[in-house]
């Protein structure tokens, strides 16, 4: 890159099953600084070398990775990391997927599309969940079992009558104050048929 004032920072990640990072190292070539992750955590927060790399990079740097799956575990994870790096003025270059590299107009466009797809996916999942709950409620399937038995409710009333605060009673019974209030008012699952 002509006129690039920053460093090229490499990031490689190998899973516990495949501890050989030679292919990734060969793909990313010579870099100013390398961060190599040997054991892969479940999320970006679990990957120490990734966190070190994010803390290390500065405005004008380029992070070079073999492919998006080496940097991230999911589209959402990828978008989050790319946005986090972009906020620091750091570009991401994917050797195997140059169309996703953020230092090109095409890459910016592709990531915008991916972000839109991920957002649509989340909205669709939420919509399906809401529809499923509505259908279950209509069929009478979604009713939750009461968390408090009649005996516990009797005890709760006795304690409250003796002046024990409702918050304390709820904590003793292992339920939220809202659940206790609902039960005391005979609402929801506690309503008498």
Q: How far is CA 10 from the centre of its chain?
A: 24
CA atoms within 13 A on the CB side of 143: 11
Spell 122-156 as b/e; 16+ CB within 10 A means b.
eeeeeeeeeeeeeeeeeeeeeeeebbbeeebbeeb
Report the alpha-carbon distance of residue 95 to residue 64 in Å, rounded.
7
Q: Is 15 a catalytic residue?
A: yes
Structure tokens at 76: 């959402």
Catalytic residue among 15, 43, 176, 191: 15
> What is each CA distance from 105 to 95, 109, 121, in whole angstroms?
16, 6, 24
Residues involved in catalysis? 15
């Amino acid at each position: 890159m002509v006129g690039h004032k920053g460093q090229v920072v490499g990031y490689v990640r190998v899973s516990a099953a495949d501890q050989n990072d030679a292919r990734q190292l060969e793909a990313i070539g010579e870099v100013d600084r390398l961060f190599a992750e040997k054991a892969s955590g479940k999320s970006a927060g679990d990957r120490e070398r990734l966190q070190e790399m994010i803390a290390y990079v500065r405005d004008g740097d380029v992070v070079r990775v073999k492919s998006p799956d080496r940097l991230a575990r999911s589209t959402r994870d990828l978008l989050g990391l790319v946005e986090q790096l972009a906020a620091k003025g750091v570009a991401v270059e994917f050797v195997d997927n140059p169309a996703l590299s953020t230092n090109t107009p095409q890459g910016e466009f592709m990531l915008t599309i991916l972000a839109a797809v991920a957002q649509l996916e989340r909205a669709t999942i939420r919509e399906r969940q809401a529809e499923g709950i509505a259908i279950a409620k209509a069929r009478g399937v979604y009713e939750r079992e009461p968390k408090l038995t009649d005996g516990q409710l009797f005890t709760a009333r006795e304690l409250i009558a003796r002046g024990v605060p409702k918050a304390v009673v709820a904590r003793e019974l292992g339920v939220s104050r809202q659940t206790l209030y609902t039960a005391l008012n005979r609402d929801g699952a506690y309503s008498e048929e």
